[in-house]
Amino acid sequence: QVQLQQSGAELAKPGSSVKISCKASGYTFTSYYISWIKQTTGQGLEYIGYINTGSGGTNYNEKFKGKATLTVDKSSSTAFMQLSSLTPDDSAVYYCARGRTGSGDYWGQGVMVTVSS
Amino acid sequence: DVVMTQTPPSLSVAIGQSVSISCKSSQSLVYSDGKTYLHWLLQSPGRSPKRLIYQVSNLGSGVPDRFSGTGSQKDFTLKISRVEAEDLGVYYCAQTTHFPPTFGGGTKLELK
């Protein structure tokens, strides 16, 4: 069955970076893009961007350019998102989802990122 | 960005009751291919969002036909007939016609 397994919760200091992963199984990884979504209580759901898992090409929501960097490792069927120069506003749950639109049929379980000194 | 406005923000319902949720967009969601990329998601407590309906009215895999979606252009509705306990959670509409995709603020469905 299709699964997107995300890495564990992160506690990071302001100014640092984190890299979270999304490992796909149960389907041909390179047949679907992977998108990333941020969820906070205040801002709700926000679309970050997507990565073409075959070519590595990316497209970002303007709001997250410079904040998020999406990469992929086809050999392990894993997509990654690095968040840099972290601030408390980056504290959120981050989801990966199958497909490039962020409204796909399969989602990961989410990763809680907490930014605190 | 396209603004998605959902109403009401919360609903209190009894099991077996029918409910409707409204979603309005700031721009038409008809894409150049003629299709309308408006979707509905449900986030059950403690879970990831799950897609219920895609492209206005198409049920996702395994979604019961108690759920139905209607609408066009900028005005859309999700209807749940005969609410069951498993339907409780937060419902989101989402548009993927325009980049970036955007989501409504959510409608929390609770038990009366």
pLDDT tens for each residue of B38-85 = 999 999 999 999 999 999 999 999 999 999 999 999 999 999 999 999
Q: Residue B86 has what pLDDT?
A: 94
CA distances from B77 to A17, A43, B69, B92, B96 (A): 41, 22, 6, 11, 17
B10 band by pLDDT with thresholds 50, 70 and 90: very high
The mean pLDDT of chain B is 96
Of A45, A49, A59, the CB nearest to B103: A45
Q: Residue A18 has what pLDDT?
A: 98
B59: CB partners within 8 A, 6+ apart: B52, B53, B65, B67
B34 band by pLDDT with thresholds 50, 70 and 90: very high
The single-letter code of the amino acid at A94 is: Y
pLDDT in tens, chain A (117 residues): 999 999 999 999 999 999 999 999 999 999 999 999 999 988 899 999 999 999 999 999 999 999 999 999 999 999 999 999 999 999 999 999 999 988 888 999 999 999 999
A35 touches A47 (CB < 8 A): yes
Q: Residue A49 has what pLDDT?
A: 98
What is the three-class DSSP state of A6? strand
Q: Residue B9 has what pLDDT?
A: 97
Alpha carbons B96 and B58: distance in angstroms, whole number: 15
Minimum Cα–Cα distance from A62: chain B residue? B100
**Chain A interface with B: residues with Cβ < 8 Å:** 44-47, 49, 59, 61-63, 95, 101-105, 107-110
Of A47, A117, A49, which Cα lies nearest the Cα of A87? A117
Q: Residue A41 has what pLDDT?
A: 86
Q: Residue B112 has what pLDDT?
A: 87
B80 touches B69 (CB < 8 A): no
Alpha carbons A51 and A68: distance in angstroms, whole number: 12
- Residue B92 in tokens: 């989101």
* Percent of chain B surpassing pLDDT 70: 100
Does the beta-carbon distance from B99 to A59 stay under 8 Å?
yes
